[in-house]
């Protein structure tokens, strides 16, 4: 695996690369969900590149930028073993040169749900992803469905800016008990981790109920109740949305998704389920 570090010229390396290229952008602290992205990337293209960059633009002032898990040596080993060909570890100065003043903002779809709870988050994501896609110029880029709204925002941005890349969403990888893998699960105490299983269970039950013809509002209220019973201290949203526009739904449609963000102890978890 070729490694390009901060200050080195990714464009020259990219130009020298032959064959189709798939990109897996990450913030490191890799888990099996990321490795599934690499695996899928290998099916999609002849070469696979990954990036690791903990993007300060997508963290709010009170969020966890400073303590976001950083495990570079382990990440490098995992990517190498997974068969990644190229890894770019840009520094902040490579992506945001002095005086950086440009932001990519995707209106509408960015404004609800995570956008409401985390103002500025999706502009930070869209800006860095646009820069990574332009610098690496892959044929395909892969993102996990775990961050379902992020995937929708990136698809919109790529269409709107006519970026010549195909965006592929990859299903969420879950622990045996159903909790979606996330680098932020590392923040959970053993007790919080045990209680967190209520999140996928509440989603699965609500999905099942809606599929079985239960009124949407009732199924959602029951799901919220289950989370509070399990010890979640707050629920930012537990909603049924249109899978493409992410507009809230009160009645069933063809393509729907259940989405949730809830807080357990000091940690905010998100998840989603198809219906
Ligand atoms: O999903 C992530 O890890 C990040 O939001 C991404 C897409 C790498 C942008 O920083």
CATH of the domain at 94: 3.40.50.620
Asked if 154 and 129 count as a contact pair (C-beta separation under 8 A), the reply is yes
How far, in Å, is the centroid of ligand 1 from the Cα of 222? 32
> Domain limits at 97?
2-170
Instruction: Report if residue 175 sits inside a domain.
Output: no
**What pLDDT, on a 0 to 100 scale, did the predictor assign at position 253?**
85
Q: How many helices (H) and strands (E) does the chain have?
A: 10, 9
Q: How far apart are CA 143 and CA 146, in angstroms?
A: 9
CB 110 within 8 A of CB 126: yes
**Residue 196 and residue 270 in contact, taking contact as beta carbons nearer than 8 Å:** no
Task: Indicate which atom in ligand 1 lies nearest the CA of residue 125.
Answer: 9
Q: Best mutation site among 24, 26, 149 for ligand 1, i.e. most ligand atoms within 8 A of its Cβ?
A: 26
Burial class (CB in 10 A: 0-12, 13-18, 19+), 52: buried
Residues annotated within a binding site for beta-alanine: 58
Residue 275 CA to ligand 1 center (angstroms) comes to 25
Residues 9 and 130 occupy one common structural domain: yes
Residues of each annotated binding site for (R)-pantoate:
58, 150
d(CA 52, CA 80) in angstroms, rounded, equals 13
213 in the same domain as 157: no
156, part of any domain = yes
**Do 194 and 159 belong together in one domain?**
no
Whether 33 and 136 map to the same domain: the answer is: yes
Q: Is the pTM of this model over 0.75?
A: yes
Q: Say if residue 42 is in the same domain as residue 147.
A: yes
Q: Are residues 38 and 137 in the same domain?
A: yes
pLDDT at 64: 94
My answer on whether 84 and 135 are in the same domain is yes
Per-block mean pLDDT, blocks of 10 residues, the chain (275 long): 97 95 98 98 98 98 94 98 98 98 97 97 98 98 98 98 98 98 96 98 98 96 98 97 95 93 97 96
Dihedral over alpha carbons 4, 75, 268, 145 (to 10 degrees): 80
Outline where 17-90 has alpha helix (H): 32-44, 72-82
User: Within its chain, how far is the Cα of 226 from the centroid?
Assistant: 25
Cα distances (Å, whole numbers) of residue 222 to 203, 219, 238, 239, 257: 10, 5, 10, 12, 17
- At 125 the pLDDT is 98
* Residues 122 and 253 placed together within one structural domain of the fold: no
Q: Hey, which residues are catalytic here? A: 34
Output the CA 192–ligand 1 centroid distance in Å: 25
Q: 258: alpha, beta or left, given left = phi > 0 and alpha = psi -120 to 50?
A: beta
The closest residue, in CA terms, to atom 8 on ligand 1 is 26
Q: 179 lies in a domain? A: no
Same-domain status, 111 and 192: no
Verify that 15 and 89 share a domain, yes or no.
yes
| 229 and 156 belong to one structural domain | no
Residue 9 lies inside a defined structural domain of this protein: yes
Cβ-count burial 207-236 (b if 16+ within 10 Å, e if not) = bebbeeeeebeebbeebbebbeebebeebb
| Protein residues whose CB sits closer than 6 Å to any atom of ligand 1 | 25-27, 55, 58, 125, 128-129, 147, 150
106, 233: one domain: no
Known binding-site residues for ATP equal 27-34, 144-147, 173, 181-184
Q: Is residue 143 part of a domain?
A: yes
Tell me which residue has its CA closest to atom 9 in ligand 1.
125
- Domains of the chain: total: 2
Residue 257 located in a structural domain: yes
In a domain? residue 275: no
Nearest CA to ligand 1 atom 2: 26
Does 274 reside within a domain?
no
Spell out the residues 6+ positions from residue 210 whose beta carbon is closer than 8 angstroms to its own: 216, 219, 240, 252, 256, 258, 275
pLDDT at residue 170, rounded to an integer: 98
Q: What is the CATH number of the domain that holds 260?
A: 3.30.1300.10
CA gap 169, 152 in Å, rounded:
9
Quick one: pLDDT at residue 174?
Answer: 98
Which distant-in-sequence residues (6+ apart) come within 8 Å of 67 by Cβ?
A: none
Neighbours of 267 (CB within 10 A): 18
How much distance in Å is there from the Cα of 46 to the middle of ligand 1?
23
Q: Which residues does 242 contact at the CB level (< 8 Å), separation at least 6?
A: 249, 253, 255, 256, 257
Q: Could you say which of 170, 196, 224 is where a domain stops?
A: 170
Q: Whose CA is nearest to atom 6 of ligand 1?
A: 26
């Amino acid at each position: 695996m070729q490694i390009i570090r901060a200050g080195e010229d990714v464009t020259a390396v990219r130009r020298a690369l032959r064959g189709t290229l798939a990109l897996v952008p990450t913030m490191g602290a890799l888990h099996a969900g990321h490795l599934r992205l690499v695996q899928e990337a290998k099916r999609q293209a002849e070469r696979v590149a990954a990036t690791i960059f903990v993007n300060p633009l997508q963290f709010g002032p009170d969020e966890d930028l400073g303590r976001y898990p950083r495990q570079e040596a382990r990440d490098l080993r995992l990517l190498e073993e997974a068969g990644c060909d190229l890894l770019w570890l840009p520094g902040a100065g490579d992506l945001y040169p002095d005086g950086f003043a440009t932001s990519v903002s995707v209106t509408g779809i960015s404004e609800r749900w995570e956008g409401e709870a985390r103002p500025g988050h999706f502009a930070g994501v869209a800006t860095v992803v646009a820069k990574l896609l332009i610098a690496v110029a892959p044929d395909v880029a892969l993102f996990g469905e775990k961050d379902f709204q992020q995937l929708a925002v990136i698809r919109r941005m790529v269409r709107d800016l006519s970026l010549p890349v195909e965006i592929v969403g990859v299903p969420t990888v879950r622990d045996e008990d159903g909790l979606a893998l996330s680098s932020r699960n590392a923040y959970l105490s053993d007790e919080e981790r045990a209680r967190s299983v209520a999140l996928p269970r509440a989603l699965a039950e609500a999905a099942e109920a809606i599929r079985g013809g239960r009124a949407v509002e009732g199924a959602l209220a029951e799901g919220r109740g289950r989370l509070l019973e399990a010890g979640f201290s707050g629920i930012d949203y537990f909603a049924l949305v249109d899978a493409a526009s992410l507009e809230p739904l009160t009645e069933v449609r063809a393509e729907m998704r259940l989405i949730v963000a809830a807080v357990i102890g000091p940690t905010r978890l998100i998840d989603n389920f198809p219906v």
